């Protein structure tokens, strides 16, 4: 029987999460998580703070990141695990953050034309870290009463193909994988059910993909079985995590979804890493 004690997908205020790295690690430790991967969008800024707290509470922090990339006109998210050379990511991540900000500026303009004026500076203040994104726009829409909740904001206005959606410039999949590999990280496809990228996985594996997020809150038992078999067929490392962003009533918490210690060690082996990263 699986005993998933390692959560390999979680976010902090350095991207679109609500908690500081210190608070996230403390919460995870209080719930019995033994290892936690910090995977903020286009940012590694929270890793050192998370590691320090991990040392204090006896929890291993895996240095990770979640990159947004494009492949065949589709946005995919690629997780990178056991990042060793964060300095290599500096300039590319700065460019990605700027692209996110420019996209948000255009989304705010579009919302104004749609009869929902919001203040760009208010959106930026909601992004307490350095990465501004659509979730911060959604939060501001909720606060102004335009929508009932963040889910509705995306379903009606901000999601792919919706009236306020705008595609942003992003690295190609091949560029993203190459960047992660230069940083010493193992590239893993995140939540394939969300991106509807299942059909692309064999091709992505031939282009450098090393792992597949099998266990995720959006994956039911049938999806888990399907992706686990696909990972075996393609020799991809199966990973999983809660994709935690914030505490909500009845919501997913760190440790609710994850992998076993044995599965984490297989990922570590793929990274060729023997220390704490």
Share of the chain above pLDDT 70, in %: 97
The domain locations on the chain are 6-86+171-271, 93-158
Taking only the tens place, the pLDDT of each residue in 160-211 is 889 999 987 789 999 999 999 999 999 999 999 887 777 899 999 999 999 9
User: How would residue 277 be classed by pLDDT, with cut points 50, 70 and 90?
Assistant: very low
Please give the pLDDT value at position 129.
61
Q: pLDDT class for 1, splitting at 50, 70, 90?
A: low
Q: pLDDT tens for residues 207-263?
A: 999 999 999 999 999 999 999 999 999 999 999 999 999 998 999 999 999 999 999
Same fold, 6-86+171-271 and 93-158: no
CATH number of 93-158: 1.10.150
- SS3 for the chain, per residue? CCCCCEEEEECCCCCCCCCCHHHHHHHHHHCCCCEEEECCECCCCCHHHHHHHHHHHCCEEEEEEEEEEEECCEEEEEEEECCCCHHHHHHHHHHHHHHHHHHHHHHHHHHHHCCCCCCHHHHHHHCCCCCCCHHHHHHHHHHCCCCCCHHHHHHHHHCCCCCCCCCCCCEEHHHHHHHHHHCCCEEEECCHHHHCCHHHHHHHHHCCCCEEEEECCCCCHHHHHHHHHHHHHHCCEEEECCCECCCCCCCCCCCCCCECHHHHHHHHHHHCCCCCC
Which tens digit of pLDDT belongs to each residue from 121-172?
999 998 876 678 898 999 999 999 999 999 999 999 999 889 999 987 789 9
Is CATH 3.20.20.140 what the domain over 6-86+171-271 is classified as, yes or no?
Answer: yes
Percent of the chain scoring above 90 in pLDDT: 80
pLDDT tier for residue 78 given thresholds of 50, 70 and 90:
very high
| pTM for the structure as a whole | 0.87
């Amino acid at each position: 029987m699986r005993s998933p004690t390692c959560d390999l997908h979680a976010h902090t205020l350095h991207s679109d999460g609500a908690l500081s790295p210190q608070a996230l690690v403390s919460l995870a430790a209080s719930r019995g998580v033994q290892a936690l991967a910090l995977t903020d969008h286009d940012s590694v800024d929270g890793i050192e703070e998370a590691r320090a707290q991990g040392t204090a509470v006896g929890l291993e922090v895996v240095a990770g990141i979640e990159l947004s990339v494009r492949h065949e006109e589709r946005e995919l998210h690629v997780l990178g695990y056991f990042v060793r050379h964060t300095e290599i990511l500096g300039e590319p991540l700065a460019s990605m953050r700027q692209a996110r900000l420019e996209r948000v500026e255009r989304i705010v303009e579009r919302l104004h034309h749609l009869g929902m004026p919001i203040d760009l500076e208010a959106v930026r203040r909601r992004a307490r870290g350095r990465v501004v994104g659509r979730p911060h726009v959604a939060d501001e829409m909720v606060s102004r009463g335009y929508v009932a909740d963040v889910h509705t904001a995306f379903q009606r206005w901000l999601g792919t193909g919706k009236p306020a959606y705008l595609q942003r410039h992003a690295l190609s999949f091949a560029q993203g994988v190459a960047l992660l590999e230069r940083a010493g990280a193992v590239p893993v496809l995140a939540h394939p059910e969300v991106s509807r990228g299942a059909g692309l996985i064999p091709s992505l594996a031939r282009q450098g993909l090393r792992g597949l997020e099998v266990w995720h809150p959006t994956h039911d038992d049938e999806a888990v079985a399907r992706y686990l078999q696909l990972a075996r067929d393609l020799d991809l490392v199966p990973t999983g995590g809660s994709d935690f962003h914030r505490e909500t009533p009845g919501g997913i918490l760190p440790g609710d979804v994850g992998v076993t210690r044995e599965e984490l060690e297989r990922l570590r082996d793929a990274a060729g890493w023997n220390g704490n990263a």
